[in-house]
A and B are shown apart, each in its own frame.
Chain A
Amino acid sequence: MSFTSLQFAIFVPIVFLAYYVYPQRTWQISVLVASSIYFYASDNVQLLPVLAVAVLATYVAIRLAAQGNFAGAALGIAVNLALLGFFKYKFLFVDPKQWAAGGDPLLSYLMLLPLPIGISFFVFHNISAIADYFKLEDRRELSGLLELNLYILFFPQLVAGPITRARSFFPQIETKKIADVQLMQVTKLLILGYFMKLFVANNLNEFTIWMSPETMGRLGGGDRILMIFLYSAQIYADFFGYSTIALGLALLFGYRLPVNFRLPYLSSSFSEFWTRWHISLSTWLRNYLYIPLGGNRGAPWQTYVNLLIVMGLGGLWHGASVNYLCWGLVHGVLLAIERAMGMNQPAAKVSFRIIYIVFRTAVVFVAVSFAWLLFRFVHFEDMIRYVSGMSNLSLSCFSSEIYLGAVLCALPVVLQHLLQGKFRNSKIQPFLYGGMLALAIFARGPDTTFIYFRF
């Protein structure tokens, strides 16, 4: 069930009413868990057992972890990683046709099950729960199976995050009253999220869909460069839109989730970019991978290796494909070079500081945008074909009004970054949100799946 479907528009009010009709902790958790299971099963009923295995393994592991049992915690993490590895990365090593042909029926069935939506996200949730409980000082805080289910399955964050740390989520599990609902903030978050997805991302997809092996032949060099920046805006609007809707939905039920984006294209360094883009993932990787690996506490070369490992694995987390690995490694290399040159710190003592920062911001934006090509094209030869066609700068593919349409679609992303929340407390806010709602309803682009759903 997608956030943009009619089914979901009916589902949420029903859950909302059931949730607040009886303000009692266990009832409310049960309503959210049951509705989250329904939410997931509506598209993936055959994959519910996978989710059940993950939850149960995590539950057993956190009971053991909370007793300081390292082996139990490690086993729980291993089971979760095994699930992720089996479903996401098995076809890196085996041929699916071979399993479709015959062999053991159960194994064939398992091998041919589709990738569970959101597996990358809920596996990271589970690992966070186990790791945080392992460090727990007060054993009385240990939550029950129902609470753990809520943490893992909570439908606003189930399929594409934000990845919430257990230590940030569990303290919020308490009785919620309808009078405490932050109605205006929820409304704003939902409108902003749907606007970014339906108007910006879906309309931009109309243009960037031409960045495909079949259609790129029609694009001139200028078109190709323009498409890269449009894709940058699209992928941001798509994921920012999803994350903002998730924040609004969670707040509707009284939960605060982590903010996933803080105007990432304003970053003047690559390290800053990763504190502004997909913050919940980068925070997770930092806390549960980079720091345990040694972080930047060792020699410089060890830090660089750690960066490459973390970013490479972060890339692979997005998909079982070499292009994602390379995308992560490219960012790892950029981070390492930047650190080696001492440019990961803010520019403080430079003349013409503003010009210098603008220049650095532009460099980071262009590099990040071009790196998205590795995200867009699964095969290197397609990406090389795309880049090699940039030798001329002609805008030859479409008529001028189409380009104007493209700019109009991307404009909200540009304005959001440039204005930096200047209208946050302005009196024109109701009109802005009314306009965004109107555009989201009447000018929405053709329906497309959220890009991060496939991870």
Chain B
Amino acid sequence: LTLRAEIDPTLLTIEPEPSPGRFLILMLATLVVLAAAWAVAAPRFAALHYAPARLTSPEANLGALVKYAAAKDRNVAWVGSSLTAVLSERYFTIPGSYNLGMSGGSPVTALKILQRLEPLPKVAIVEIDVLELPVDHTLADRPWEYFSQPIVAIFANFYDPLYLIPAAIYYRPEKIRSQAQARRKALLEEPSYYRGLSASERAEAHRLEAWQANLPLEESNATEINQIKTYLQARGVKVYFINLPFPPEIQRLPFSTVPQSLVSKSAHFDCDVCIDLTRLLPMDEMGWSDGRHMNERSSVMVIDAMEKLIRGQTSLR
């Protein structure tokens, strides 16, 4: 053995370099052309309203907020937690409807942003099922006002070019609108297939039995929601509080009852803004993809119920 003469076949092989200058120029030119193509194509195909969301919480939340901040036609803002996030925007029929459900987050985060951005929406639907999570200040404190500027809106689309191709296939606005509405109709007409609790719902119910309220944080969030609600109402926004339904086993647990009671005890509470969805929905037909989040059909039923209510009570811009 000698360290000096050792030749290791596993070491990286050096490749000859014929023309690094030409290679680098062509490579950078490709980069520039692709960047420009994205800048043009993203707003066309991944049109703001129809761009699919990312899967994990931070990116999904960011994407939802970017879309909202860049939008001009704000009619209805759905605010809440991941329970709201599963209400797919493609099933909204009221133009200018946006889903600001914060997966793994607090509804207060989106409300804080919503109250800063002009124009305010005509209607704000605030889901108050999850109050146990703190405000995400890294999201809430971003300069969202600038996203309404056209140049920023273009670059906001860069956020998700990965989905440009799926978006180009699935999300041509005129195509997706008709497809989604057809599916929505079919889902609403579908007979109920929910038959008691599934194994995952039972497991979730069992897990949530051990849930303990973080009362100081929940009270603080409830108070803040009410304060923002008061501000929004003073600015002419119609605000609704909703509790999205849980499976019966979870509905009666403190996980579900504590947030409801907190909001109703907070200052500035106005009974008129609380919508009892159990009176608007056929509860025996509801279903969940897990113990907490509604399945697609139930999501459509909630959207349908709320949109009917809004149309009956509010004149939209």
Chain A interfacial positions (CB closer than 8 Å to B): 132, 135-138, 141, 165-168, 170-171, 182-185, 187, 191, 199, 203, 205-207, 209-210, 217-218, 247, 251, 256-259, 279-280, 283, 396-402, 404-405, 408-409, 429-431, 433-435, 437-439, 441-443, 445-446
Closest beta carbon of chain B to A307's beta carbon, Å: 21
Determine whether the beta carbon of A136 is less than 8 Å from that of B11.
no
Other contacts beyond A405-B162, A433-B23: 6, CB < 8 A: A167-B6, A184-B17, A402-B52, A404-B169, A408-B162, A438-B30
Tell me, in angstroms, the Cα distance from A137 to B5 when the chains sit together.
Answer: 12
Residue from the list B15, B161, B166, B289 in contact with A218, Cβ < 8 A:
B289
Chain A residue nearest in CB terms to B296: A399
Determine whether the beta carbon of B11 is less than 8 Å from that of A184.
no
- For the complex of A and B, list the 5 residue pairs with the smallest distance between their C-beta atoms, beginning with the closest: A434-B30, A430-B26, A168-B8, A401-B166, A217-B200
Chain B window 84-110, contacts with chain A (Cβ cutoff 8 Å), 1 for yes, 0 for no: 000010000000000000000000000
B151 is an interface residue with CB less than 8 A from chain A: no
B27 is an interface residue with CB less than 8 A from chain A: yes
List residues 1-53 of chain B with CB under 8 A from any CB of chain A: 1-6, 8, 10-12, 14-15, 17, 20, 22-31, 33-35, 38, 52
Determine whether the beta carbon of A257 is less than 8 Å from that of B12.
yes
B291 is an interface residue with CB less than 8 A from chain A: yes
> Assuming A183-B20, A184-B20, A187-B24, is B8 touching A167 (CB within 8 A)?
yes
Residue numbers in B under 8 Å from A434 (CB-CB): 26-31, 33-34
B138 is an interface residue with CB less than 8 A from chain A: no
- Interface residue range, chain B: 35 or more
B290 is an interface residue with CB less than 8 A from chain A: yes
B56 is an interface residue with CB less than 8 A from chain A: yes
Residue numbers in A under 8 Å from B56 (CB-CB): 205-206, 209, 446
Closest beta carbon of chain B to A150's beta carbon, Å: 14
Tell me, in angstroms, the Cα distance from A210 to B56 when the chains sit together.
Answer: 8
What are 18 inter-chain pairs, A to B, with CB distance below 8 A? A136-B1, A167-B3, A184-B17, A185-B14, A207-B55, A400-B170, A401-B52, A401-B170, A404-B165, A405-B162, A405-B166, A430-B27, A434-B27, A434-B29, A437-B31, A438-B35, A445-B59, A446-B58
Determine whether the beta carbon of B290 is less than 8 Å from that of A138.
no
Q: Which of B11, B14, B20 has the most CB of A within 10 A?
A: B11
Closest beta carbon of chain A to B92's beta carbon, Å: 15
Closest beta carbon of chain B to A138's beta carbon, Å: 6
Tell me, in angstroms, the Cα distance from A434 to B37 when the chains sit together.
Answer: 13
Determine whether the beta carbon of A401 is less than 8 Å from that of B1.
no
Determine whether the beta carbon of B1 is less than 8 Å from that of A137.
yes
Determine whether the beta carbon of B55 is less than 8 Å from that of A210.
yes
Q: Which of B10, B52, B166 has the most CB of A within 10 A?
A: B10
B158 is an interface residue with CB less than 8 A from chain A: yes
> Assuming A165-B8, A218-B290, A402-B52, is B15 touching A185 (CB within 8 A)?
yes
> Assuming A165-B8, A401-B167, A434-B31, is B1 touching A132 (CB within 8 A)?
yes
Closest beta carbon of chain A to B185's beta carbon, Å: 17
Closest beta carbon of chain B to A391's beta carbon, Å: 11
Chain B residue nearest in CB terms to A408: B165
List residues 154-183 of chain B with CB under 8 A from any CB of chain A: 158, 160-163, 165-167, 169-171
Tell me, in angstroms, the Cα distance from A218 to B55 when the chains sit together.
Answer: 13
Tell me, in angstroms, the Cα distance from A34 to B11 when the chains sit together.
Answer: 25
Tell me, in angstroms, the Cα distance from A445 to B29 when the chains sit together.
Answer: 23
Determine whether the beta carbon of B34 is less than 8 Å from that of A438.
yes
Residue numbers in B under 8 Å from A283 (CB-CB): 10
Residue numbers in B under 8 Å from A199 (CB-CB): 162
Tell me, in angstroms, the Cα distance from A171 to B20 when the chains sit together.
Answer: 28
Determine whether the beta carbon of B11 is less than 8 Å from that of A408.
no
Chain A residue nearest in CB terms to B291: A217
Residue numbers in B under 8 Å from A404 (CB-CB): 165-166, 169-170
Residue numbers in A under 8 Å from B27 (CB-CB): 187, 191, 430-431, 433-434, 437
Determine whether the beta carbon of A257 is less than 8 Å from that of B26.
no
Residue numbers in B under 8 Å from A206 (CB-CB): 54-56, 59
Determine whether the beta carbon of A185 is less than 8 Å from that of B35.
no
Tell me, in angstroms, the Cα distance from A400 to B56 when the chains sit together.
Answer: 16
Tell me, in angstroms, the Cα distance from A438 to B20 when the chains sit together.
Answer: 19
Residue numbers in A under 8 Å from B170 (CB-CB): 400-401, 404
Residue numbers in A under 8 Å from B200 (CB-CB): 217-218
List residues 176-222 of chain B with CB under 8 A from any CB of chain A: 200, 203-204
Residue numbers in A under 8 Å from B2 (CB-CB): 136-138, 141
B67 is an interface residue with CB less than 8 A from chain A: no
